[in-house]
Amino acid sequence: MAFMETLLSLISLLSSALLLHAAVEGPKPITLSLIHPFSPHSPFYPGNITDTEKINILIQGTKARMHNLFSTMREQNWNGSSEVDDIVATVQYTSFYFVAQVGIGSFPSFPGQKGMPYLLMIDTGSRLTWVQCEGCNPCFPLQQLNFPYNRSQSYKSIPCGDPACPTPKQDCFQAFCGFRISYGKDPGASTAGAIIRETLTFPSDFGGIESYNNLFLGCGFKSYGYTFPQQNKIGGILGLGFGGSRPLPFLNQVGKKRFSYCLLTSEHTNSQLYIGEGAKMIGPQVQSTPLLRGSNEALYYLDLQDISIQNIRLRLQALFSGGSTIDSGFPLTVLHPNVYGRVRIGFVQYFAQFHIQPYDSRSKPRDLTLDLCFPNPSGFDMYPTMTFHFRGANLVVRPPGIFATGKNYICVLLKSGPVTTIGAFQQSRYKFSYDFELGDRTRGEIGALRFAPEDCGSPT
């Protein structure tokens, strides 16, 4: 297995920049083109960095995501639903995160521009969409102006206690409908502010515009604990988490009932994300497993029943009682410690038949920070598959989605963490569709995750 092929696959999954590739007229789906962040065409091209630095980006991004989602993340319970035409958005990648370029507000004094452009972090684990606003104190660093809500012609305030306010009265911000949200702990990050109504605009690379008026938007006035650098370009959060029938989540406000993506595997290809009707998947190769409710209502849970390594079942059924999630915001797959321990043994036993033993703490090269790494014998190519057995569906991950390899090492791209989560790298070479029109609600199903093998791209 060529190292650079694996590495390009690895980095593209984590760091893909999404740039719009769709017309805006009629009920067509959102169609987003994914571009490798380390391509010179990416707005976040970092220049030349070493192979080890690229691999470490995976690990750092996974740790950051674990901290944000599974360390007492809290959101209030909000309650709605609708159906409208499809929208478009320019999406890019910065730091460890997917971000969408969204126009916010109405400023006629800016010719040819309907809203001020902001990069909002796409978070499939959050239902709330918010941006940092002018007058914030304290604020996190932002390269551009904080959103000047008072100068927007489409800004509408919502008084505290108003029946239209989608958040609890105890979250009021001064005299206005408000929100409070926390990510992580020790000390974690948090934002509080007002819920307002605003216009969101999604530009295309063709120059078209699709606007949605009178949407709920969080206006952040007090932010604590964020570790963004001074050159930070992220202005807030675009929440794509599950919303049920609540009115506040973005997908409900714009009336979308499905979205899909296919993560690319090379900086030389384009791949796409769809939101809307075009995200529907049918065909003989399509498998389906229920999307379930879990302890965090914003996340997408799956019934993961077992894991296989090269078709050998590990018989882990009793270890998944806490639930399993899927999240493209996680670079690497994270396994609960009990599950990770069994999977680790499975890989050690597999490589032992080829007389390959894992590095210990003394022999492992110092620049390898992944937990499970092996020496790489010259000419070795007997890498195993890893299969996630879901209820009614099997996700077979090929070796390029499991291993990072170099001249002297083979590393398994998995992490131990508090909740089992299928990450982006292990979703490679498949198209996934989250369809909320499917599923048996009487069994706690909120929809269905459908997937099928796909090359995920065409030449740029």
The pLDDT tens digits of the residues spanning 268-291 come to: 555 666 777 778 899 999 999 999
In this prediction, residues 367-372 reach a mean pLDDT of: 89
pLDDT at 458: 55
Instruction: Return the CATH fold of 3-278.
Output: Cathepsin D, subunit A; domain 1 (2.40.70)
pLDDT at 151 over 50: yes
Q: Which CATH number fits domain 281-459: 1.10.1520.10, 3.40.50.2300, 2.40.70.10, 3.40.50.1360?
A: 2.40.70.10
Greatest mean pLDDT range, 38-52, 207-221, 382-396: 382-396
Stronger pLDDT, 266 or 340, i.e. the higher one: 340
**450 close to 286: Cβ distance less than 8 angstroms:** yes
Copy the structure tokens of residue 137: 């104190």
Contact between 270 and 460 under an 8 Å Cβ cutoff? The reply is: yes
Predicted confidence band at 141 (pLDDT cuts at 50, 70, 90)?
A: very high
Read off the pLDDT band of 315 (50, 70, 90). very high
The token pair at 33 is: 């083109």
Q: Which residue is it, tokens 């719009």?
A: 20
Average pLDDT over residues 326-332: 81
Q: How many whole angstroms separate alpha carbon 55 and alpha carbon 51?
A: 6
User: In terms of DSSP bridges, do strands 258-262 and 234-239 run parallel, antiparallel, or are they unpaired?
Assistant: unpaired
Amino acid at 58: L
Answer yes or no: is pLDDT of 252 > 90. Answer: no
**Residues in contact with 70: Cβ distance below 8 Å, sequence separation at least 6, in sequence order:** 417, 418, 419
Chain mean pLDDT for the chain: 78
pLDDT tens sequence across 387-426? 999 999 999 999 988 998 888 899 999 999 888 999 888 9
Confidence at 261, pLDDT banded by 50, 70, 90: confident
Q: Where in the chain is the domain with CATH 2.40.70.10?
A: 3-278, 281-459
What is the Cα 151 distance to its own chain's centre? 32
Give the C-alpha separation, 127 to 240, whole Å: 6
Full-model pTM = 0.76
**Helix 3-15 × helix 51-70 angle, to 10°:** 40
Per-residue pLDDT tens over the stretch 153-209: 999 999 999 999 999 999 999 999 999 988 765 567 889 999 999 998 875 444 567
Distance of CA 254 to the CA centre of its chain: 19
DSSP 3-state of 381: coil
* pLDDT value for 392: 96
